[in-house]
Chains A and B, each alone.
Chain A
Amino acid sequence: MIVGDLKPLDEIAESVLQFRKVLIVACGGCVTVCLSGGTSNADALARELSHPRHYKCRPPIFNTTSIQRQCERDFVKAYLNFPPDTEAILSLACGAGVQTVAECFETLPVIPALNTSFLGSLDEPGIWREKCQGCGSCVLTYTGGICPITRCAKHLLNGPCGGSSQGKCEVSKDIDCAWQLIIDRLKTLGRLDDYEKLFPIKDWSFDRGGGPRSLGVSKTGE
């Protein structure tokens, strides 16, 4: 899922202080599940931001609402309603949701309340870890289901670098060496031969280097 993290309160307060009436919009998708942008987060944020200690002048009035997904334009247009006199929207969605809402309501400033962090999984209750960078050409088939693009700091495709020591990455003792994990997993799967195969140079045009990506629905195989 897309994992988001609440911005520092001072930064959010600074971005809304010029408005009198602000609508905080929760998103019922990924950010609800990662406990950063759901309805309860919106309510808590409204309570906190209403406190005068964040402002030198009068605090804005905050209302809250929620929509199931902020990243679908027609859905947002049809179902995101807000009180009259709303001067700005404070979105608790990921970056895609914030931009979609902004496109739907051109005359209203739409402000992000979250930093969109990464594509990750819930490894243990309350702990999300990055697992995918959306590089556009997945290599997990050959790496035992462990992504070296995401989990190796150098994005290496053909084995570990010299900084791998006792299964840990030189970047931090808390980070597992992705290639150590891959080798261990390939051993378990009895597919260590895959480790000997050389990856060709990766085509990064499917990644962000090729500009903003889009995807249209097509029939399989076409």
Chain B
Amino acid sequence: MSYFVVNEKCNGCLACVESCPANALSWKDNGKKRILLHNMARCARCANCWRICPQHAIEFQHLLENKWDEVVSLDLLHCKICGEPLYTADLEKTLSEKTGRELDPFCPRHRESNFAARQALFISKKIEVKEVR
């Protein structure tokens, strides 16, 4: 998606190109067409082009209210009990490799209750062993 939008009022005067302090605007003449170019990485969003355009052709609001781009999509792990989204499978793998143990996907609340249940089980087993003796 382009964040720098120029509407149909543009007459190709290149006032914006001349006024851009970041050299983020340029143009090329391609056969019968003059093409205006914008470089997002260079743009300082100073709005000088918007101010100076005699045709009011630059719609700067897209640079201020732009939409979110999806840049990466990864598998997500959820809490085994309540299903709350926790962290990505790749993060789990990285952490497991670094800590040398597998992570149980539990949310903070259920991690505690799961830990308490495990402890209770461990203690009851100990008691059973003692009783047998």
Cα–Cα distance between A49 and B77 once the two chains are bound (Å) = 59
CB of B22 within 8 Å of the partner chain: yes
Total contacting residues, chain A, CB less than 8 A: 12
CB of A40 within 8 Å of the partner chain: yes
Contact A40 B42 (CB under 8 A): no
Contact B20 A28 (CB under 8 A): no
Contact A32 B22 (CB under 8 A): yes
Mask, B40-83, CB within 8 Å of A = 1, is 00101110100110000000000000000000000000000000
Residues of chain B within 8 A of A39, CB atoms compared? 21-23, 42
Q: How many of chain B's residues touch chain A, expressed as a range?
A: 10 to 19
Contact A28 B23 (CB under 8 A): no
Contact A32 B46 (CB under 8 A): yes
CB of A211 within 8 Å of the partner chain: no
Contact of A28 among B42, B48, B51, B52 (CB under 8 A): B42
Cα–Cα distance between A29 and B45 once the two chains are bound (Å) = 10
Mask, B20-32, CB within 8 Å of A = 1, is 1111000000000
Residues of chain B within 8 A of A91, CB atoms compared? none
- For window 5-43 of A, CB contacts with B under 8 Å fall at 28-29, 32-33, 35, 38-41, 43
Contact A32 B51 (CB under 8 A): no
Contact of B51 among A29, A38, A40, A125 (CB under 8 A): A125
By beta carbon, the residue of chain B nearest A32 is B44
Ranked 8 nearest A-B pairs via Cβ: A38-B21, A33-B46, A39-B23, A32-B44, A38-B22, A35-B21, A32-B21, A32-B22
Residues of B whose CB lies within 8 Å of any CB of A are: 20-23, 42, 44-46, 48, 51-52
